[in-house]
Amino acid sequence: MSRILILSCGTRDLLVRYFKKSSFEKVVGADCSELAPALYEADAHYLIPRMKDPGYFDAVFAICEKEKINVVLPLQEDELNLIAENRRRFEDRGILAVVSPVEVLNLCRDKYAFYKYMKGKGTAVLPTYDSISDFEKAFSDHEIEFPVFVKPVRGAGSIGAMKVTCMEVLKALFEHSEEPLLVQKLCEGREFGIDLYVDLISKRPVDFFAKEKLRMRAGETEKSVTSTDPILKEFVLRAVQNLAVAGPIDMDVFFQDGQYYLSEINPRFGGGFPHAYVSGMNTPEYIARNAAGWENESYLEIKRKKLYVLKYSDVMAIEAPLQS
C-alpha cells in the first residue's frame, strides 16, 4: 500500500478528499501556513518551512521517513520546479515524485518560449509578442489590433493578466513592469479547460476531460459544463505529443472563428479538476496505481455525460491551528 505526501496543499480540500477516497493507505498534507484548510482534511498534517528556506528539504524528508511516504505530490508552481530539480534525492529514498521533467516545467512556465515552441511544432497558438517593438510592427502591418491581452511571461494563476485597449497604456505597462511581459491576441471566443493524465510508467495519455468555462473568478473556473467535442480532444492529444509531460496536466484552449487555439499547458492539477473528478476521471487512483508499479489502462474512449459544475465557498472551523 502506498502513502502520499501532498505539498502546499493550501485550499485544495476537495483534492485531499479525493485522494483519501483512493487506494492510498494514508494521505499526508504539508504547508508552510498553519491556516491552510486542506491540512486538516488529511490523515496527518505538518507545518514545513517555506520552500526557499534552508530547512525545507530536511523537514520534507523527515516527514517522508516518519510517515513511510513513497509518493510526493507538489501543487504549487515554484515547488514543482524545486521537486523536479531534486527528483534524484527522492528516488534515492524510494519516493516517486509526481512531477514532469524540469525542462518541460521551465518551457511551460515561460509563456513566450512555450508559444514559440508549440508554434514551431505546428500547433495553433494565439499570436504572441514579447516586446513593444515587435508588437508595434505587427500592429502597423494589421496583423493584430486592440484590445489585447497582457500577462507576465512567467505568470501563474492569472496574476498580473489584464485586457489593454490602447497603445499608450500598453507602453506604460512595459515601461514600468518589474517583470517581463508579453502581449497576446485577445480571444473573446469560448474557453475550455482540459484535464489530462499522462501515465508515469507508459508515458502515454490515459484519460482526458474537457469542460467549457462559463464563468471565472480569481483565475479559476467557477462554473463550467462538460464538453464532448471529438475535434477538441484530437487537438489536445496531438498538441501534448510534443511535450514529455507526466502525471496530472491542466490545459487552456480557446475556440474562435471556427478553430481551436492552445493557450497554455500547466503540468499540475488545475483548479477546475473537481469537474473532471465528478465526471469519472479518477486521477488520484491513477497515481496510486503507478506508485504500485502498474500501468493504467486507457480511458480515452469513455463517453462522459454532460454535467454542469458550480463552485461555491465553504468554511472550516478548527479549535486551534498547528504549532511549528
Give me the residue spans of the domains in the chain. Answer: 3-99, 127-185, 188-310
The confidence score (pLDDT) of residue 157 equals: 61
CA dihedral for 171, 173, 179, 181, sign (positive or negative): negative
How high is the mean pLDDT of the chain?
95
Per-residue pLDDT, 209: 98
pLDDT attached to residue 217: 80
Task: Kindly give the residue spans of alpha helices, DSSP state H, lying in 241-282.
Answer: 273-278
Pairing of strands 190-198, 205-217: antiparallel
> What does pTM read for this prediction?
0.95
Q: What whole-number distance in Å separates Cα of residue 79 and Cα of residue 50?
A: 10
Percent of the chain surpassing pLDDT 70: 99
Q: What is the pLDDT of residue 170?
A: 96
Question: What confidence category does residue 265 fall into, taking pLDDT thresholds of 50, 70 and 90?
Answer: very high
pLDDT at residue 49 is higher than 90: yes
Burial label for 86, CB within 10 Å (0-12, 13-18, 19+), is: middle
Q: The domain 127-185: what is its CATH number?
A: 3.30.1490.20
Are 207 and 286 within 8 A, CB to CB? yes
List the strands of the sheet with 26-31, edge to edge: 44-47, 26-31, 3-7, 71-74, 96-97
Per-residue confidence band for 158, with pLDDT thresholds at 50, 70 and 90: low
- CA 178 – CA 165 distance, rounded (Å): 21
One DSSP character per residue, 12-56 reads -HHHHHHHHTSS-SEEEEEES-TT-GGGGGSSEEEE---TTSTTH
- Stretch 38-54: mean pLDDT, rounded? 97
Q: 196, 139, 141: which is closest to 164 by C-alpha? A: 139
3-state class (DSSP) for residue 219 = coil
pLDDT at 155 exceeding the cut of 80: no
Residue 12 in grid coordinates: 485544495
Beta strands per DSSP E along 228-282: 247-256, 259-266
Question: Looking up cell 510592427, which residue turns up?
Answer: 137
Secondary structure (3-state) at 184: strand
**Superfamily for 188-310?**
ATP-grasp fold, B domain (3.30.470.20)
Give me Rg for the CA atoms of the chain: 20
Q: Which fold has domain 3-99?
A: Rossmann fold (3.40.50)
Q: What DSSP line would sit under 71-113, residue for residue?
A: EEEE-SHHHHHHHHHTHHHHHTTT-EE----HHHHHHHHSHHH
CB 57 within 8 A of CB 66: no
State the burial class of residue 98 (Cβ atoms within 10 Å of its Cβ: 0-12, 13-18, 19+): buried
H or E stretch at 263: strand 259-266
Question: How does pLDDT run across 112-128, given as a tens digit for each residue?
Answer: 999 999 999 999 999 99
2: its cell numbers: 502506498
Asked whether the predicted pLDDT for residue 177 surpasses 70, the reply is yes
**Mean pLDDT for the stretch of residues 277-288:** 98
Which cell is 269 given? 492539477
Residue 221 confidence class, pLDDT cut points 50, 70, 90: confident
Secondary-structure percent of the chain, ordered helix, strand, coil, rounded to 5: 30, 25, 40
